[in-house]
Amino acid sequence: MRRLLLLLCILSLSAGALAGPDTLRIQGSNTLGAALMPALIRGLLEARGMHDIRKLHLSPGEQAITARDTEGAPLRFVIGAHGSSTGFDSLLAGQADLAASSRPISEQERMRLAPLGDLTRFAAEHVIAIDGVAVIVHPDNPLRQLTTQQLAQMFSGEIDDWRVLGGHGPIHVLARDDRSGTWETFRDQVLTPYGSRLSGHAARLESSEQLSDRVSADRQAIGFIGLAAVRQARALAIVDGDSQAMAPTVSLIATQDYPLTRRLYLYSPPSRPSPWADALIAFAQSEPGQAIVASQGFVAQTVQAISVPASPAMPALYKQLAREGRRLSVSFRFAEGSATLDNKAMADVARVQDYLRRHDLLHNTTTLVGFGDAKADAARAVLLSRLRAMAVRRELAKAGVVFRDILGLGAQLPVATNEVDEGRIKNRRVEVWVTPRDEGTTTGVAQTQSVTGQAMAGTPGG
């Protein structure tokens, strides 16, 4: 809540206080830098009443947004989009004010940038959008889903012919380049868990758009890109471990249930505060900023209520929730190796509070449902999942929101494999459910039953 108030204060600053001759420099992810960051900067400038806003292409992967403030002084925002790792390198070299990254900062990077402050702190690590790494094929490809293990075998070259999987002909593997956060996400979530490495025969591309166009022109091709760059290709549903097949839909990515979901970040070094950087982060996380996030093909963090069809695979109590209530498009997750909510979850506390108040849902039946990874003792898994839900309830109570019901379902309804740490961390989550007071009551839940019309039918835990 304190952070939300700080962001609102920053947004309320006058344009004159933010204007100045210095350029705001953003370096890093191509996923963010190609279109999303320019759109967010333009939105901020328009909200500040700036004029003569223009976009300039400086060189491949480099562009600038220029404008004049209300007094006619020039402003210039430079955006470099060469891969997430380049953003952290630029921060360290003093060549950037913000690092844009399509994956979290690594421990090695955190230690290397320690002189700039702890970039994993709540005030330095900012999630501005949610994205899904989509595995894409040619529209004529007969396959509709693959497991993460099959993907690892295909991208490593262990499976090199579509006929093994029910298709036709040799597989042509396309991948993003080594500097790409999209590549690092795919590597860490698909290849590394199975001890695989990318095939030396894979074609590497710097641009997601180029990769998508190559796949849509080649019936034998397979590749991976950010959700916003699917274009004419077709995205496959993914199965991870015991999870059900999940397509990269807006609703499944919003709740981070889709196996290859990722967060998109801006990192601001605490030792080098910048009013313009703070203003851009605040705008990106505001309602108008999140509307721009959605318009650019990414998934906004705006809370909505989702209707979840009941399925036979659901436990009885969960099935009752699905029949009578609505699930909010938020899943609270925890810092690695900790019972503490992670940075996004802490920001989501304020979002949930705001949503419930705005839609007059505080007096409805509200339920927190905790999940966890598999344990040798099933009762212990249930206990831990319930404790996670209680940890979320404590944070929400600090924000003035009291949840009446707590439900712990242990290792049921996994969204990822329990065979690796990354999957176990994903399965440790807490969902938020709201049940109307009675069927004759009109509430905000009834008004927001779906996320862009994409239902979550047949998916575990929503």
pLDDT tens digits, one per residue of 113-143: 999 999 999 999 999 999 999 999 999 999 9
Over range 53-68, report the average pLDDT: 95
Q: Are both 2-124+268-295 and 132-254 of the same fold? A: yes
44, amino acid identity: L
For 2-124+268-295, the fitting CATH number among 3.40.190.170, 3.40.1440.60, 3.20.20.70, 3.40.190.10 is 3.40.190.10
d(CA 295, CA 129): 12
Give the tens place of pLDDT for each residue, 286-326.
999 999 999 999 999 999 999 999 999 899 999 999 999 99
Residues listed for the chain: 462
Say if CB 198 and CB 188 are below 8 A apart: no
How would you classify the pairing of strands 221-226 and 125-137? antiparallel
Domain assignments of the chain as residue spans, ordered by start? 2-124+268-295, 132-254, 305-447
Q: With a cut of 90, say whether residue 233 has pLDDT above it.
A: yes
Half-sphere exposure of 332 (CA within 13 A, CB side): 30
pLDDT value at 86 more than 90: yes
Beta bridge partners of 306: 327
Q: Which residues pair with 368 in a beta bridge?
A: 406, 432
pLDDT at 420: 87
Specify the fold of 305-447: 60s Ribosomal Protein L30; Chain: A; (3.30.1330)
* CATH (residue range 132-254): 3.40.190.10
Joined together, the tokens standing for residue 441 give 């009551």
| Tokens representing residue 388 in the block | 């996670």
Rounded CA separation 211/174 (Å): 7
> Which amino acid would we find at residue 407?
L
What does the pLDDT read at residue 130?
Answer: 96
